[in-house]
Structure formats: C-alpha cells, structure tokens
C-alpha cells in the first residue's frame, strides 16, 4: 500500500520552513478530504478555520505554549466543535440531505425525531465532549491527506482552548476550539525528521478475539 509508505514518511513536524507555502490546489484537496470525514449521523457538528493572517497567529502563539509552528507553518488549522446541537442544526442537515439525495423532506421526519431524542437531551458537557470527538476524525483525514500530498503536518493539543475561543470570538458563534494542526513544509533544521518512528509492535497493539 502506498498509503503505508506515506504514513511512514510523515511525522509531527516541530519546525517548519516559513518560506514554503502550501499551494491553493493542495489546500483545496485537503479541505475536500476533511469534508469527507465520517461523523456521527453525518451532522459534521464542527467548523474548520484555516488561519493565514500573521497577526492573528502571533496573538495565538502565546496561547499555544509559545510553539513556533503556529507562526512558521504555511497554515494553522483550528477544528472548532459546536457547543450545542439543537433542533435547528438537525433540521438544516435533514434539508441538505433531502436536497442532495432528492428525497421528500417529510419522509425524513422519523429519522429527525430519532436524532433529536438522542442528541438534544444530552447534558451540556457530554454534548461538548461528543462534538469535540468528531473533530478528531476530521483531523485524521487531514493527516492522511497531507501524507499523500507530501505536505508536513503537526497535530497539536498543546494550546489553551479558552485563549483561542477569546481571540477568535468562537463562543459567540457557538463554537469552541477542540484541536489544532499546522501544515506546511519541514525545515532542514528540524532534527525530529531523522528520528525513527516509535510504535508498539503489531502483535502488542492488536488482539483478535
């Protein structure tokens, strides 16, 4: 599988070359790959911010443990989960589904009612945790797409969600920063690229029952 070779090539890039930028066509392919990620009920209860503005990224760097990737990478990607999934979110999804699949919206009522009964009654913290988990599936797709395109990436949890929420005005949009990633091209000075990949042996990681 070429995919395995691509994943062997990738690593969490610690130092990016600030002079090298991801092309618009490659960025569009990454966005499409993220959009095709699986999500619970197909709701895609998150939004993805692609931050290129250097001034905004300078403000975000202190909220990211001072890490250089935030300002040096070609793009900073912020996966923001919905803090609430209400009836309107579900109704909007059902309308989109009906339009795309040429279905009668009324025929989706039972499915919509089922989703509403399972989702809208969730306690706030459980709902936020659930939507945040969805972003990690999108992040996984981003990492695979970048490996395929030979674009370096670094998934990052080392940041302050509250700081990001404040700087990006996410709370007023019903969003919260869940996980971030930087993409671009590795610097020749990044010594991490020469380290062997450390993974558990297959027989230890997997168990067939």
CATH for 2-85+121-205, options being 3.30.365.10, 3.40.109.10, 3.10.110.10, 3.40.50.720: 3.40.109.10
d(CA 93, CA 34): 18
Let me know: does 84 contact 120? Beta carbons within 8 Å. no
Instruction: List the one residue out of 122, 111, 35, 116 whose CA is nearest residue 83.
Output: 122
Instruction: Tokens for 79, please give them.
Output: 């996966």
Nearest C-alpha neighbor of 143 from the set 77, 45, 82, 193: 77
pLDDT of amino acid 198: 97
User: Hey, where are the domains in the chain?
Assistant: 2-85+121-205, 89-119
What string of pLDDT tens digits covers the 209 residues of the chain?
A: 899 999 999 999 999 999 999 999 999 999 999 999 999 999 999 999 999 999 999 999 999 999 999 999 999 999 999 999 999 999 999 999 999 999 999 999 999 999 999 999 999 999 999 999 999 999 999 999 999 999 999 999 999 999 999 999 999 999 999 999 999 999 999 999 999 999 999 999 999 99
Alpha-carbon span 127 to 90, nearest angstrom: 14
């Amino acid at each position: 599988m070429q995919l395995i070779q691509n994943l062997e090539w990738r690593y969490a890039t610690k130092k990016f070359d600030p002079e090298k930028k991801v092309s618009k066509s490659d960025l569009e392919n990454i966005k499409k790959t993220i959009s095709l990620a699986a999500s619970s009920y197909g709701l895609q209860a998150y939004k993805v911010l692609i931050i290129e503005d250097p001034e905004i990224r300078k403000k975000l760097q202190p909220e990211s443990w001072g890490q250089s990737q935030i300002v040096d990478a070609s793009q900073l990607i912020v996966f923001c989960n919905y803090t609430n999934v209400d009836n309107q979110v579900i109704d909007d999804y059902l309308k989109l589904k009906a339009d795309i699949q040429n279905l009668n919206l009324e025929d989706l009522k039972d499915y919509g009612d089922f989703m509403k009964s399972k989702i809208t009654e969730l306690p706030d913290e459980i709902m936020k945790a659930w939507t945040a988990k969805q972003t990690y599936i999108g992040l996984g797709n981003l990492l695979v797409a970048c490996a395929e395109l030979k674009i370096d990436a670094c998934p990052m949890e080392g940041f302050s969600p509250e700081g990001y929420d404040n700087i990006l005005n996410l709370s007023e949009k019903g969003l919260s920063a869940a996980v971030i990633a930087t993409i671009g091209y590795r610097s020749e000075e990044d010594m991490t690229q020469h380290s062997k990949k450390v993974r558990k042996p297959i027989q230890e990681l997997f168990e067939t029952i």
